[in-house]
Amino acid sequence: MFAVVKTGGKQYRVNEGDVIKVEKLDGEVGKNVTLDQILMVGDDKAVTVGEPLVAGAKVTAEVLEQKKDKKIVVFKKKRRHNYRRKKGHRQEVTVLRVTKIAKAAAKKAPAKKTEKAAAE
């Protein structure tokens, strides 16, 4: 079973047991986090696409680590103007292990009235 999850402005395709790095989420190491913005859920038999979200679907993940990502360098330069600026940035990330993907419960169709019940 797989799901497409939206978190931190990005989308991730995850399976049960996957380890992913997402933008910082609140949660302590070892605790579970529930992601409820699910865009698509599927398995071998069928795929459910949300409009825009799949109602009732949830992904549960365990927080493995809260850390800072690799440093990126932001360098600005204007030639022939002696203008140079160098700045670094480290994004805070949360490392998650997906433990469970739950589909939405199937809706039951309303029971049809029989001719006897309709006559009464």
Find tokens 């679907």 and name the residue.
Answer: 57
Write down the domain spans for the chain.
2-66+93-104
Which amino acid, residue 43? D
Q: For 14-67, what is each residue's pLDDT tens digit?
A: 999 999 999 999 999 999 999 999 999 998 888 999 889 999 999 999 999 999
Residue 96 has pLDDT above 70, yes or no: yes
Average pLDDT, the chain: 90
List for the chain the helix, strand, coil content (%; round to 5).
5, 55, 40
Find tokens 């995850």 and name the residue.
Answer: 14
Residue 116 has pLDDT above 90, yes or no: no
105: CB partners within 8 A, 6+ apart: 56
